[in-house]
Amino acid sequence: MKQIYFYLFLFAVSVLAGCSPKVVPVKAKVVATDSAKARPIVVIDTNAKPVVIVRRGPFAKTDSFYTAKTDSLVALAKKQQPAMLIDSSGMAIPSDFVGTVNFGIRKPNYVIIHFTAQDSIQQTLKTFTLTSTQTSAHYVIAKDGKIFHMVNDYLRANHAGAGKWGSVTDMNSCSLGIEIDNNGSEPFTDAEVKSLLLLLDYMKKTYNIPTANFIGHQDFAPKRKPDPGPLFPWKILAQHGFGYWADDLLVDIPPPTFDPAIALRLIGYDTSDLNAAIVAFKRHFVQTDITPQLTPMDLMVLYNVSKKY
């Protein structure tokens, strides 16, 4: 009798195995690594489903904090409540919530490039994982070209701060911030530039960011920020479609009626402090001289560049 039950058990197991989905080996792609222990932390399977791996190392606590905070933001986005408004007499305004079928997530429309002004990538990662600093960026690029993604592209990072570009004053809400490991007085490495170009190409294609909307922190906040500075290769970026650059051959002389302040505003600069705007412009488009005076050559560059916007 025991043998009969045993064979029945084997038969049942074989039937269940035949009915269950087959296990397909996952072809995983490592998209990030734990710098402390050089082990993969996130992989993507063939069905593009994220596989979560528990992270160990110096950033385990901040990763957990990030997850909890994003969960709270998702919960906030799921709220479906009517507008709670009261008129001057204290009466509630009739309102209701009716969900539409036509909506999507907001996307970034600018890219702001920074230098870290710190001495190592480890120092910057620490700075961006301390709540006391209240500063962050979507991406940080190390000197060896490694890219650290720190804030989801659809979330708001604290990277731009106070400033103005055109009519935009809250740049954090509509931009992606990229920090490059550089102390502000050294050339950017070839590996950093190579990774940056690939990242910018991904951003431009993914979010349809206009060519004119790749700018520096100095452009948005000329009164208080110098980065990414005159050593940054803006000309190379422009050659790849990220921002503009003056023509190699400047043949058009600005007319007598040319107003530099108006030209700077057309590009996007805040000219409430004209000298600061001039310095920011020269850091970006001249780079050999960053004084607040415009030379005849500077005026030709400004005239040429302003016509591209």
Residues recognised as catalytic:
179
* Number of helical (H) and strand (E) elements in the chain, helices listed first: 9, 8
215 three-class SS: strand
**What does the CA dihedral 251, 212, 124, 151 come to, rounded to 10 degrees?**
-170
Instruction: Please give the backbone phi and psi of residue 113, each rounded to the nearest 5 degrees, phi first.
Output: -105, 135
List the beta strands (DSSP E) in 83-133.
110-115
147 three-class SS: strand
Say if residues 187 and 231 touch (Cβ distance below 8 Å): yes
309/212 Cα distance (integer angstroms): 7
Candidates 106, 218, 107; CA nearest to 161 is 218
Tokens 């962050």, located at residue: 136
Residue 151 CA, chain-centre distance (Å), reads 8
